[in-house]
């Protein structure tokens, strides 16, 4: 990877994906790797600016690398996810998902709740869940190994805050992480 010019880490529901981009400005080579696997390889591209579009993760999320000339032989590389800059995508994603990281039985687990669909992901796999109405809200039940888990959704009582989601594992609340 002698022509590696950019690396991004993209947090999606199924995990954090590493995107690497090689751009050979003398050879015209463009190579995109997702999680170390080659997704696109183009040789002898005489046009040094442009875009490369590919998909990332289990949901085949659309990603585009934009290649722009800055000055002379300097280039700028920007990543878009679903048509938004990576920064904007991550900002909007933080409003539509909750993420927790927990350590059980010597293993790390990353649990993601997609608030719009109520899908629950754990280490890259969508979980089988069972929803239940309770006195103060809802509970979405699932298992991680031999551990009983549920995500509790309760109203904050404040319109701006909306619904508060908490992950409970073996009757213990897990703190949320901000990605």
Segments making up each domain of the chain, as ranges: 2-86, 92-175
What is the structure's pLDDT at 14?
Answer: 93
**Dist CA 89 CA 63 (whole Å):** 11
pTM of this prediction? 0.82
Tell me, yes or no, if the two domains 2-86 and 92-175 fold the same way: yes
Count of alpha carbons within 13 angstroms of residue 61, beta-carbon side: 23
Among candidate residues 16, 9, 19, 8, the one with its CA nearest the CA of residue 110: 16
Q: What percent helix, strand, coil does the chain show, rounded to 5?
A: 5, 65, 30
Count of alpha carbons within 13 angstroms of residue 143, beta-carbon side: 3
What is the structure's pLDDT at 160?
Answer: 77
What is the structure's pLDDT at 25?
Answer: 83
Q: Are 107 and 113 in contact (CB under 8 A)?
A: no
Query: Check: CATH 2.40.128.180 for 92-175?
Result: yes
CATH topology for the 2-86 domain? Lipocalin (2.40.128)
Q: What is the largest CA-CA distance in the chain?
A: 66
pLDDT tens, N- to C-terminus, the chain (179 residues): 579 999 999 999 999 999 999 999 888 899 999 999 999 999 988 888 899 999 999 889 999 999 999 987 789 999 999 999 999 999 888 889 999 999 999 999 999 999 989 999 999 899 999 999 999 899 999 999 899 999 999 988 887 778 899 999 999 999 988 76
What is the structure's pLDDT at 27?
Answer: 86
């Amino acid at each position: 990877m002698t022509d590696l010019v950019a690396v991004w880490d993209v947090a999606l529901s199924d995990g954090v994906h590493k995107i690497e981009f090689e751009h050979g400005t003398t050879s015209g080579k463009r190579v995109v790797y997702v999680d170390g696997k080659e997704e696109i390889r183009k040789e002898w591209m005489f046009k040094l600016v442009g875009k490369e579009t590919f998909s990332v993760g289990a949901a085949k999320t659309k990603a585009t690398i934009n290649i722009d000339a800055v000055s002379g032989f300097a280039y700028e590389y920007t990543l878009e996810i679903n048509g938004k800059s990576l920064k904007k995508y991550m900002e909007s994603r933080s409003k539509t998902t909750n993420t927790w990281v927990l350590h059980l039985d010597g293993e790390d687990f990353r649990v993601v709740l997609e608030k719009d669909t109520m899908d629950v992901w754990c280490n890259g796999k969508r979980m089988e869940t069972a929803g239940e109405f309770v006195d103060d809200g809802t509970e979405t039940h699932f298992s991680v190994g031999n551990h009983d888990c549920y995500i509790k959704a309760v109203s904050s009582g404040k319109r701006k805050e909306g619904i508060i989601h908490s992950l409970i594992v073996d009757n213990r609340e897990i703190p949320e992480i901000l990605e």
